[in-house]
A and B are shown apart, each in its own frame.
Chain A
Amino acid sequence: MTAESQPARRGLFGGFRREDLAALVVFLLLAAVPLAISGYVVYILPQYMLLGVLAMSLALLWGYGGIVSFGQAAFFAIGAYAMGLAMKHLIGLPINSAYLGILIGTIGAGLVALLIGYFLFSAGVRAAYFVVATLALSIVVEQTVKSFSDITGGWNGLYVDRMTLTLGSMFELSLFDDAPIYYVVLAVVVPVYIVVAALMRGRFGKIVIGIRENEDRMTALGFNVPLYKTLVFGLSGLLAGVAGAFYATHAQFAHPVNAGVLFSTQVVIWVAIGGRHSLLGAFVGAIVVAALSNYLSSIEAIQSYWPLVMGLIFIAVIVLFRRGLAGLVESLAGKGPHGRVAGH
């Protein structure tokens, strides 16, 4: 093994191992929050973390696969409504209705993504056309939940209960209070991050990056490119679905705004700001931007300008740091943004 092979191996596909340390710090900080403070922050942070998972669902698609989607809200909404409807209607069964909701929401969102991915990618659609298709998906899901108001509550949204954690009949824990649900959400988010990060760092992630870099070469090497694109889109839908299911029970509602194009666009913005090549960057980006946006829009003086401010920040980040906050942190930490991960 030559000396030169070492940096290539360590930096392999942007595997920024320092990101592991950064993730550890972020998650420890998040775990410490309810110990240090109480009140609104403890209430709201889990929702931001789930938006962070939604952002990761796009980052793995966009940053790794080079595929942009304006349909992430649709999968989020599938998760959210599945959770709400399951908790409302699937009661009296021997199994916790919230568990069913999470299962149906997650698998349902994943399957819808797989199906759409299969039809679009095996037909070999171009990236631009794919974006339009995902945009249409957001609109379709938003219109659907608005139209079937008997079931979904339409514009009023759907009230969702806080779930109860159960283990057969031996154990029961209500998540009505903010601290318990905070830790349950954290206990979902951390393994999700670890599994997805490991997956994207391994063979699957490398193949997805290879497809982003040169589809023709990957095909000529024997990779079934449409299959891998379909799988990564399916995984992305699944993650958005988990986030939506937990979000609904935490926020205690599912609403059409969480299905629409506008919300999908916000996800794109969070990821662009956080850094689409880094799952952690996207996660933190979503938390920071959602928190900031919530805070600033509550200040009366700038309330009406907020979308404009948001747009300007977005443009500034895109122009100044194309790799987002994660890229900025990397270059500050002394590892310059190498072309290999920056390429799209």
Chain B
Amino acid sequence: MAALLVIEGLTKRFRGLVANSDVSFALAAGELRCIIGPNGAGKTTFISMISGHVIPTSGRILFKDRDITRLPVHVRARIGIGRKFQTPTVFDNLSVYENIELAVLATPTPRRGRHAKIMRTLDLVRLADHSGQTVGALAHGARQWLEVGILLAGEAQLLLLDEPTAGMTAEETHSTGELIRRLVRELSLSAIIIEHDINFIRDLKAPVTVLHLGRVLVEGSFAEIERNEQVRSVYLGNA
């Protein structure tokens, strides 16, 4: 599979603090990848550099062979990079339907096709029954799903999901995992997911990259990561 995203020697310093240090990374088209690491490891900073919210101090980011290292956020969004934030970033005062509609308006969908596309997206994230509801009144899990729906309706090809199950019950977490796997498979998307929940990560059956102190500690399958001594000591040391 061709590489969709290639990252070379990415470093980010916030004044004195090194949040990411010489991170290299590659993601194939259609690949699902999990990023784990203790708090402050630099996970959010890493995907912020991919989405354009943080500009790296040095290093390169190539998306579909194009150098996007310094492109503004909205331009990256237009070429297919969709970001879900750690705190859900949706339109709280608008209805579920309107939230998805705004995402559709960001795409070149002709006026006549918009309603059908909105309803299709609502079906995908199982929010069709809530389409008229104001988003501020939705349950926490539904808001997270809505934000995923917004990325889908916006025609993102690479999903950057920062802790998509935060605040969810075990059951919701499980079905979120199923949803993401299904979406990636059926819509041939790629996704980078930051997560903490060990059961969720195991269920994803995706390769895992472990960040620690801004560096890539190790990369491998979940089973390999679980056995890895370094990873164990990092997590035990932080537990």
- Is there an interface contact between A8 and B78, defined as CB atoms closer than 8 Å? no
Q: Does A217 make an interface contact (CB < 8 A)?
A: yes
Among the stretches B3-11, B125-133, B206-214, the one at the interface with A is B125-133
User: Which of A5, A9, A222 meets B78, CB within 8 Å?
Assistant: A222
Q: Is the CB of A1 within 8 A of B74?
A: no
Contact call B154/A343, Cβ cutoff below 8 A: no
Task: Verify A217–B131 contact, CB threshold 8 A.
Answer: no
Chain A residues within an 8 Å CB radius of B129: 2, 4
Q: Residues of A contacting B73 with CB < 8 Å?
A: 219-220
For A3, the closest partner residue in chain B by CB is B132
With a cutoff of 8 Å between Cβ atoms, the chain A residues found around residue B90 in the complex are 214, 217
User: Known: A4-B129, A4-B132, A222-B78. Contact between A340 and B95, CB under 8 A?
Assistant: yes
A1 with B106, Cβ < 8 A, contacts A13-B98, A342-B93 known: no
Q: Is the CB of A206 within 8 A of B105?
A: yes
- Whether B172 sits at the interface, judged by CB under 8 Å, is no
CB distance from A225 to the nearest CB of B (A): 7
Kindly state whether residue A315 has any CB partner on chain B within 8 Å.
no
Q: How many A-B residue pairs have CB under 8 A?
A: 104
Which residues does chain B contribute within 8 Å of A191, judged by CB atoms? none
Greatest chain B CB density within 10 A among A9, A207, A216, A220 is at A220
Chain B residue contacts of A39, Cβ below 8 A: none
> Does B103 have its Cβ within 8 Å of any Cβ on chain A?
yes
Given A8-B95, A213-B94, A222-B154, residue A2 in contact with residue B128 (CB < 8 A)? yes
B97 touches A5 (CB 8 A): yes
Count of chain B residues with Cβ under 8 Å from any Cβ of A?
37
CB distance from B188 to the nearest CB of A (A): 20
Assembled-state Cα–Cα distance A338/B94 (Å): 10
Selected from B101, B131, B133, B134, the residue in CB contact (under 8 A) with A206 is: B101
Binding site for B on A (CB under 8 A): 1-2, 4-9, 11-13, 203, 206-207, 209-210, 213-214, 216-225, 338-340, 342-343
23 A-B interface contacts by CB (under 8 A): A2-B129, A4-B128, A4-B130, A4-B132, A4-B133, A5-B115, A5-B118, A6-B132, A8-B96, A8-B131, A213-B92, A213-B93, A217-B91, A219-B73, A219-B77, A221-B74, A221-B150, A221-B154, A222-B154, A223-B74, A338-B134, A340-B134, A343-B94
Q: A1-B119, A4-B132 are in contact. List 10 more A-B contacts (CB 8 A).
A: A5-B119, A6-B132, A8-B96, A207-B105, A219-B73, A220-B51, A222-B75, A222-B106, A338-B134, A339-B136
The 9 closest A-B pairs by CB, nearest first: A343-B93, A222-B77, A8-B97, A4-B132, A222-B78, A8-B132, A221-B106, A213-B91, A8-B95
